[in-house]
Amino acid sequence: MGGLLRRNLEMIVLILSGVLLAAGGIAWWASAADTARWLWIADTLLGLVFALAATLQAARQHRPTVDIIAVLALAGALAVDEPLAGAIITLMLATGQVLEAMADARARRELSLLTARAPRTATRVTADGLVEIAVADVVIGDRLLVRPGEVVPVDGRLAQDSTFDESALTGEPVPVERPAGEDVRSGVVNVAGPAEILTTTTAETSTYAALVRLVEAAQATSAPFVRTADRWAIAFVPLTLVLAGVAWAASADPVRAVAVLVVATPCPLLLAAPIAIVSGLSRAARLGVVVKGGGALEQLARGKVVLVDKTGTLTRGRPELADVITAPGYDADLALRLAASVDQLSAHVLAGPIVEAARARGLDLAMPADVIETHGQGVEGVVDGRRTRVGRYSWIAGPSPERWIRRVRRRADLDGSASSLVEVDGAVVAALLLRDPIRPDAPRMVRALRAAGVTRVVLATGDRADVGTAVGRIVGVDQVLADCTPEDKLAALGREAAHGATIMVGDGINDAPALAAADVGVALAARGATASSEAADVVLTVDRIDALADAMAVAKRSRRIALQAVGVGMGLSLLAMIAAAWGLLAPTVGAALQEVIDLLAIAIALRAVLPGRLHSVALSADDRATLAALHEEHDNVAPLVERVATVADALSAHEPDVGAAVALVHALETELLPHERADEERLVPLVARARGTDEAVAALSRTHAEIEHQVGRLRRLLDGIDGDPEPDDIVELRRMLYGLYGVLRLHNAQEDEDAFSLMPARG
């Protein structure tokens, strides 16, 4: 009962205050002046107790407060026998407390959506059947069954296609289809048939558990909500007391002093600023950004310098299969199928992308037998009677690798790619190249941050200088700091602080010290939260780095609206105080006028609840479906793009053979060009419509035309080669293939950044 009373105290005071004020008004209208007076006195005493309790609580917490003005105004109203003024002030204070409590509760509800459905049990698949276990007992490598409607308990890799509701993590309302082999995060809900996952984390280190901890931290930080306006208005207290004292001394009339105190009651500060700030927290949460309190939101709005990590931040942090290079005469799809079949039972970070790529190519994977995983080296097993090994270069290739393997290794080193070799029945048959691609939304995020007022962007990475510089040049940072240790990132923050408030963005455990040291630490938790999310002030739960630009826009808008509300409210209050000091406002009239000022300030602050202009672009359902279909086609032709380089690599003037080039050009004409024409017909208008200008797609249209032109040149060259090709023909063919490859790679990057980055986050 006591707890219920405490939780609803503001509402109870508001109702009592309104009843007493209204009852007094009715009594006064009925000519029962004494009854009205005592009802208003009771209302004033209620407000005095309420304001005095708030003042004492602030004193115990060593927190500055302007509630002391309300205490003096209420006491003064009683002292000069102006109970109606006191009753109006009480209603005003109670209304403000209720509005602030409601705004705070709304922000908490947005955050609590992440923790409302935390799973407690999991279903383990064993040789003896299904076993119900506690989530805490799940270990890496477990096979778990997730039934329809159940929450995925820990992070894992899907054994078959399924569909998930990911709205609790990303805010995206549309269910997301996930293919077999793709990673799935804990906390999402299975909305299809029963699905099996191979676990890749424990419950303690899973995405959902870490998000629960960070939300608890966010709620602890913002409860009780420290009224931002108290810091802005503390100078208002002595100003009010001096003005009231001067008015009393000059007129010898204490009523004037009370009138000054009444109109000085700082409700625009007590109400408007918290409403705007808390509304910002709520809007950020709906965008998939958890901000740990109003202070963090304000600091985010002030940010001038952004330090950003590379891996997992500007890049996806998860490798993707870039190419399959085979030994002479071996089939690439067969090599990938065998490797992916073995990798189905591996929890290694490269296994998932290999399985996912094989599924995307439509390969039918088999369940391997006699699987053995050598930690840090690779995995082996028997697939369709063939002993298959997939793993590190040194584990498989041996001390004297074949020439084609050495060429692959050199290419991987130059590209900054990871590589896995595939061995079948003792022979190395293929190399799998995997890259960590740049996030398509990263360059747009950097541009949006600059538009939001960020003056400097620094890339601080532990990677080597050439890789870091390449990424930094593409996304558009001001400086690249390579080979950084955690201590180096801390030192960089110290140097950059001279340029303004610092924002550190990262996702790894090694980023945690810098995240804690920056004015605002921003962590990406979409692919598994780590210590970084617990050290950060802001956490992105969506797998989009440009959500940071949206969060910064929300923070700046909320702070700007709060300042506007406070400026208008306090400016009008100051004018009313001067009028009261001159004797132009009686206490009761002043209280009524202050109520009008409060309502105006609150109306200004409530604009923060309305959606503002964001960096991200909202798409219609039809446009999203079109974009998703074209993106799938885009992914399907990606292996064909890499095949252009592979064919060019294999051309030799000593053994001229254009058979592979002829087959390639035929594939380009029948697969690639129809896709590019569909992009020109459907993708280009979609992007122009979303961006609001045709200029945004001019480069896309130009490269579509260039690709068709280059493929036509290749066809004419091959048609013009009669009989055995000459060495010069091979040189020209190789030159044209490499040129086409460069154009295709650039064009794909353009489409990723300009078009497919508009797609909602998949998490």
| Catalytic positions, written as ranges | 309
Q: Which two tokens stand for residue 705?
A: 């035309």
Q: Which two tokens stand for residue 387?
A: 């002993």
Strands (E), 573-665: none
Contact 569, 597 (CB under 8 A): yes
Burial of 375 (0-12, 13-18, 19+ CB in 10 A): exposed
Q: How far is CA 136 from CA 190, 347, 529, in A?
A: 20, 19, 17
Q: What is the C-alpha separation between 101 and 222, in angstroms, rounded?
A: 12
Q: Which two tokens stand for residue 677?
A: 């024409």
Q: How far is CA 289 from CA 247, 293, 418, 507, in A?
A: 50, 12, 32, 14
3-state secondary structure of 521: strand
Q: Which two tokens stand for residue 251?
A: 């007129």
Q: Which two tokens stand for residue 399?
A: 């001390």
Q: How far is CA 60 from CA 52, 63, 99, 227, 238, in A?
A: 12, 8, 24, 16, 21
Contact 482, 329 (CB under 8 A): no
Q: Which helix (H) or strand (E) holds 549?
A: helix 547-581
Q: What is the C-alpha separation between 18 and 94, in angstroms, rounded?
A: 9
Strand-strand pairing, 369-374 and 378-383: antiparallel
Q: Which two tokens stand for residue 462?
A: 């532990």
Q: What is the C-alpha separation between 527 and 543, in angstroms, rounded?
A: 7
Contact 420, 350 (CB under 8 A): yes
Rg of the chain (C-alpha set): 33
Burial of 536 (0-12, 13-18, 19+ CB in 10 A): buried
Cα-Cα-Cα-Cα torsion 377, 367, 640, 410, nearest 10 degrees, comes to: 10
Could you give the strand order of the β-sheet that contains 320-326, starting from the edge strand earlier in sequence?
320-326, 427-435, 418-424, 386-391, 378-383, 369-374
